[in-house]
Amino acid sequence: MSQDALAYEEALRIVLGASAKPDAEDCPVSACLGRVLVAPVTSAVDLPPFDNSAMDGFALRGDSVVPAGTELLVEGEQAAGDGMAQAGNGAWEIMTGARIPDGLDRVIAVEQTERLAASRVRLLAEVSPGQNVRTAGSDVARGQNVLDAGTVLEPRHVMLLAALGVAKVSVAARPRVAVISTGRELVDDPERALEPGQIRNSNGPYLAAGLPLAGAEVVHVETVGDNADAFGSAMRRAMQAGANIVVTSGAVSMGRYDFVPQALESLGAQTLFHRVAIRPGKPLLFGRLPGGVLLFGLPGNPIAVAVGLRFFVEPALRVMLGLAQEKPRRVPLSKPYSKKPRLRFHLKSRLNMDGQGRLAVEVLEGQESYRIRPLADANAWAVVPADVDDLPAGALVEVYGSGHLEFSLPSESGL
C-alpha cells in the first residue's frame, strides 16, 4: 500500500464526519414510500376503534359460557358500517367487521347456529366471553408508539398509517445529488453508432438509476469531455440545480487527462482525501466544495463506480437520511478465495441457499473493474479486509446487499 492511500476505515470516517445530519420535512402518507422517518409516530387512536365481530354470526351475552342448545330471540341486525346499537337480552345477527351492540360480549359463527324461525336462533356450540370479538385497541392502543425514527417506509407501514388516520409524517429531506460523467470517448445516445475509440456511457445511467434507490433525489445529470473548463461549467450547473452532493466518474487518476483534482482546486474545493487502499476504486477522491457541497470523484471503470456508490456515497446518504450505519452480515464462503495483500477487496458476489436452508456466498468470476456482466449476476458484495490474503471455504466474510436499502436478509439481531 502506498503511503498516500488511506485505509478504507479512515476514509469512511472522513466521509461520515463531513456528511450533514438530515433536514426534516412533512410528507403526505400517500407519497411517503421509501422515505425515512425522522420522528417516531405515536397513535392518536385505538385500532380497531371499537369492538367488532371477527365473523358473520350472532352476537350475544352471558355471565359465563353459554351452552349449546340455548335458544335466543333475534332482536336485531348489525352490518359493517352501522353505528351504535343498544342490545337487550337476546341475540343480534351480525356481519364481519360490524360494531358489537352495547351490552353484548361474544359472537358465535353463523354455521354453528340453527335458525328456528324468523326471530329465533338455537346455538349448536357453546360460546365463551369475548369469543370472536376484536376488541378496541387490541391491534394498536391510543398513545402507543408504532413506528420509530429511522424507519424506511414500505407499503406495510403505509397500511398501518392509513388505518390510524395519519395524514402526514415527518421524514428526512432527500439529499440532492448531481451526476457528472467525464470522458470524450463517452456516447450517451444508445441509438448513435459508435465511432472508433468510442464507448457507451454506462456510469451515468448507473448512478442516475441507483441514487434514487439509495434515498437521494437526482437533480442534474451531465456528460462532459476531457476538458477542465467544460467540467467547471458542469459543476456550476450542478450547484445551481441545488445539489448538496456531486458524484463524478472518471479523470481522477494520474494520467495526462485526469484533470478533476486540478479543476476542483480552481473551483475552491478542499480535497479531503485522494486514493484509498481498496480494489476496485483506489484513485477515489473526496472533497468539499464551497457552501459545503460534497464531491465524490469516482474512477471511470464501471465497477469502481459501483464500489464508490455502495461503500462511500451510500454511507454518506445514511447520515443525511438519519440512518444508523450498516452492520454487514457474516456469511460462509462457498469456495476458497485468495487476493493480493494490503488492499480491501469489494467482490461481486452471489448469496445462495441450499436445500437445507444453509446460506453461503459465492465470489463470482470476472472481478476485473471493467467487467459489468458479473455485476448483473450478483446480488451482494463480499468484502475481504486489507490484512487478509487467503480464506478457505467456509470462512465467514462480511456481506453487504446490492444497495443499502435493498438487503432482504434479516440482520444477526433478527431486527
What is the b/e burial string over 203-228, where b = at least 16 CB atoms within 10 angstroms of the residue's CB?
bbebbbebbeebbbebbbbbbbebbb
Query: What amino acid occupies position 46?
Result: D
Q: Which CATH superfamily is domain 52-134 in?
A: Molybdopterin biosynthesis moea protein, domain 3. (2.170.190.11)
Query: What amino acid occupies position 28?
Result: P
CA atoms within 13 A of residue 388's CA, in its CB half-sphere: 16
Cα–Cα distance for residue pair 367/263, rounded to 1 Å = 31
- pTM (predicted TM-score): 0.90
| The Cα angle at residue 277 between residues 276 and 279, in degrees rounded to 5 | 100
Q: Which fold has domain 329-401?
A: Beta-clip (2.40.340)
Identify which of 347, 312, 340, 342 has the alpha carbon closest to the alpha carbon of residue 326: 312
Going from the C-alpha of 259 to that of each of 221, 267, 280, 282, the distances in angstroms are 19, 13, 20, 17
Architecture field, domain 26-46+141-172: Alpha-Beta Complex (3.90)
Can you give the residue ranges of every domain in the chain?
8-23+174-321, 26-46+141-172, 52-134, 329-401
Range 8-23+174-321 classified under CATH 3.30.70.260: no
Q: Give the containing element (helix H, strand E) for 393.
A: none
Going from the C-alpha of 82 to that of each of 50, 94, 95, 107, the distances in angstroms are 12, 10, 10, 17
Domains 8-23+174-321 and 329-401 agree in fold: no
Pairing of β 133-134 and β 52-53: antiparallel
What is the full per-residue pLDDT of the chain (415 aa) written as tens digits? 344 799 999 999 999 999 999 999 999 999 999 999 999 999 999 999 999 999 999 999 999 999 999 999 999 999 999 999 999 999 999 999 999 999 999 999 999 999 998 899 999 999 999 999 999 999 999 999 999 999 999 999 999 999 999 999 999 999 999 999 999 999 999 999 999 999 999 999 999 999 999 999 999 999 999 889 999 999 999 999 999 999 999 999 877 667 999 899 999 999 999 999 999 999 999 999 999 999 999 999 999 999 999 999 999 999 999 999 999 999 999 999 999 889 999 999 999 988 888 999 999 999 999 999 999 999 999 999 999 999 999 999 999 999 999 866 655 543 3
